[in-house]
Amino acid sequence: MVFSSVEFLYFYLPAVLLIYRLTPKKLKNAVLFASGLIFYAFGEPVYVFVLVVSCLIDYFAGLIMSRCGERPKARRACLIVSVVMNLGLLGIFKYTSFIIETLNGVFGLSLPLNIYAGAANTLFGTHFSLSKIILPIGISFFTFQSMSYTIDLYLGKIEVQRNFIDFAAYVTMFPQIVAGPIVRYKDVENELRERSVSLQSLSDGVTRFTRGLAKKVLLANNIGLLWQEVKSSDYSALPALTAWLGIIAFTLQIYFDFSGYSDMAVGLGKMLGFSFPENFNLPYTSKSVREFWRRWHITLGDWFKSYVYIPLGGSRGGALKTVRNLAIVWLLTGLWHGASWNFVLWGAWFGVLIVAERLFLGRLLEKLPGFFSWLYTMLAVIFGWVLFEMPGLSETAGFIKAMFGAGGAAWDQNTAWLICEYSIIISLCAFFASDAPKNIKEKLSARLQKAGLRFDVFSAAEPFVTALLLICSTAYLVSEGYNPFLYFNF
């Protein structure tokens, strides 16, 4: 994928920014549209048509809806067509094989995985097999983003966009197209029409992008090596401490991987004149699961709250309806992340915990010392990540058993070697995932001000820190081959 290659960082991105700066204002959205398609095609050339079809569906649905005036049934029909077609694209590419496999397993059927292939081949003379379909990168992100436009238009929260290029620029905007944050049309509606890039916003964008890049390549990639080593082990003989060490490494990896990409996207948005919403707010400092999900993947949580939870009635219909609504939201959240029973159970796990916190557990957590409520939250999240990361239920069960000593030993020599080998990167990740850097900065700033220092030391040092992080990240990208983006799979 593009972000995994040095070529993108040193050719594509600077070229796009230069062309964008030199392009007249009226054509800037066309540059964004074209650069988004090229960016996506670089990593997934076969499925650019899916991205374009998604744009066309919602663009024309919006146009027709606007022409329906005050006719509610016609407007509702446009909305239904948009939602059904978007979810249809998502279902065909992401969930068809899962549904067929489930039906085969439950009812003893023998439906072929290429059940649609025969019809496609007959109609189009192709040689197509559904079982060989590769999931389009970021399809869950851009379909939800595009679909939010027609929903908000139906609700009267935004004005119709009549210019296809401007609308397509919004959907295909390359900084966040494949892994978020999920940007709603209303977030950038005004900026699509009129925006500017000052020297300050450009500087802030570069700083934010570099911070995200460093999170990704210096922290996520290096702690990820520890998880890869543990994950490839035989779980039946895996010492308990090694299993815990591995899943803690993944817990840190997925945070720095995803939040790093989000920082890069927000930074690139600033360079282009857009203010994208924040997607993370130190989630591993949370003291309840509810708080964790207010801090983790914020834009996805807001999407489900706005378009599923609240329309279902939210918490307005009593305890039973609230539980029902939360159950639906968390089932859909699990399925959004992937088409497997592990993701269904992952969503159910957090759904049960959040319901319990709303009913009684939240009051108990408030009475506990902060450390214990934090420890509960982290254990809940860590077990959730086991479900999230494992490929199947048997692997999940095997790994959890290993965490509780089924491997026959608490630790071994390899455990000690892993701790020594990765102790520095574990410490760095734990430090930067906490609020310690913020607290240290605030305390030092206060002391320097009391000492009579009249300028902001941290602001003065920021350009040098940014340059150092960029150099170190570049060196890593050039020398290392392990550079996955975990959320590209969704």
429 and 302 within one domain:
yes
Among 36, 273, 337, 354, the one annotated catalytic: 337
180 and 206 within one domain:
no
pTM listed for this prediction: 0.89
Mean pLDDT of 96-108: 73
Neighbours of 362 (CB within 10 A): 16
| 438, pLDDT greater than 70 | yes
Neighbours of 488 (CB within 10 A): 20
Q: Is 299 helix (H, G, I), strand (E, B) or coil?
A: helix
Mean pLDDT of 31-53: 84
| Domain stops at, among 136, 169, 195 | 195
Residue pair 354/326 in contact (Cβ under 8 Å)? The answer is yes
Q: What is the pLDDT of residues 56-80, one digit of tens each?
A: 999 999 999 998 877 888 999 999 9
- Residue 5 is classified by DSSP as S
End-to-end CA gap in the chain: 14
Contacts of 473 (CB under 8 A, 6+ apart): 210, 213, 214, 216, 217, 218
Q: Does residue 40 form part of some domain?
A: yes
Say whether 297 is catalytic: no
Q: In terms of Cα–Cα distance, which of 59, 60, 116, 125 is closest to 93?
A: 116
315 and 258 within one domain:
yes
Q: Output 130 or 201, whichever has higher pLDDT.
A: 201
Kind and range of the H or E element at 120? helix 117-124
| Domain stops at, among 195, 213, 230 | 195
Neighbours of 196 (CB within 10 A): 8
Q: Output 367 or 6, whichever has higher pLDDT.
A: 367
Mean pLDDT of 94-103: 78
| Domain stops at, among 133, 167, 195 | 195
* Distance in angstroms (rounded) separating the CA atoms of residues 350 and 293: 9
207 and 111 within one domain:
no
Q: What is the pLDDT of residues 110-166, one digit of tens each?
A: 555 554 444 434 433 434 444 556 777 888 888 899 999 999 999 999 999 999 999
* Distance in angstroms (rounded) separating the CA atoms of residues 272 and 16: 10
Q: What is the pLDDT of residues 287-342, one digit of tens each?
A: 999 999 999 999 999 999 999 999 999 888 888 999 999 999 999 999 999 888 99
189 and 89 within one domain:
yes
Contacts of 429 (CB under 8 A, 6+ apart): 219, 223, 252, 256
* Distance in angstroms (rounded) separating the CA atoms of residues 116 and 99: 13
Q: Does residue 490 form part of some domain?
A: no
In terms of Cβ atoms closer than 10 Å to its own Cβ (0-12, 13-18, 19+), residue 420 is exposed
Q: Is the dihedral of CA 271, 277, 283, 286 positive or negative?
A: positive
Q: Does residue 265 form part of some domain?
A: yes
177 and 246 within one domain:
no
Q: Does residue 483 form part of some domain?
A: no
For residue 299, the model assigns a pLDDT of 94
Q: Which domain holds residue 365?
A: 202-478
Q: In terms of Cα–Cα distance, which of 343, 307, 344 is closest to 325?
A: 307
Where do we find the tokens 């609230």? Answer: 322
Q: Does residue 326 form part of some domain?
A: yes
179 and 216 within one domain:
no
Q: In terms of Cα–Cα distance, which of 196, 175, 173 is closest to 185?
A: 173
* Distance in angstroms (rounded) separating the CA atoms of residues 133 and 205: 37
346 and 464 within one domain:
yes
Q: Is 222 helix (H, G, I), strand (E, B) or coil?
A: helix
Token digits for 191?
């900026």
Q: Does residue 488 form part of some domain?
A: no
375 and 416 within one domain:
yes
Percentage of the chain modeled with pLDDT above 90: 58
214 and 181 within one domain:
no
Query: Between the CA of residue 36 and those of 178, 181, 259, what are the distances in Å?
Result: 10, 15, 21
Q: Does residue 136 form part of some domain?
A: yes
Q: State how many domains the chain has.
A: 2
Query: What is the residue-averaged pLDDT of the chain?
Result: 86
Q: Does residue 484 form part of some domain?
A: no
Percentage of the chain modeled with pLDDT above 70: 89
334 and 426 within one domain:
yes
For residue 125, the model assigns a pLDDT of 42
Query: Between the CA of residue 478 and those of 7, 9, 324, 475, 483, what are the distances in Å?
Result: 10, 11, 50, 5, 11
350 and 266 within one domain:
yes
Q: What is the pLDDT of residues 202-260, one digit of tens each?
A: 999 999 999 999 999 999 999 999 999 999 999 999 999 999 999 999 999 999 999 99
Residue 127 CB-half CA count within 13 A: 0
Token digits for 299?
């834009």
